[in-house]
Structure 1
């Protein structure tokens, strides 16, 4: 974990038992003011999770 989850933190952990030689699976969450994002668990590769979060942020930003 990087940061303070009560303010802002990135939680990232590869779980070897969930991964293969080419696909790394694990945990990727953001904590903002003690709230976890995403708030629901998804089965998704870490690279796809990062892409999904960036896309959601880009569409949420004011033009």
Structure 2
């Protein structure tokens, strides 16, 4: 094995490690995005239920 082969191997390993890190970070970002979306949907449903209940109470009162 020559120095050039070793350098090429190092570059391939570094490139592979960067690719894996980006994939991991992308997965984490997606999980954060999904959690935020789910929380927003939950809040929207809860607030809509509260609004409808208030409107119903206002009509009775």
Per the shorter chain, which TM-score range? Answer: 0.3 to 0.5
- Whose strand proportion is higher, 1 or 2? 1
Which structure has the larger Rg over C-alpha atoms? 2
Query: TM-score under structure 1 normalisation?
Result: 0.34
- Whose helix proportion is higher, 1 or 2? 2
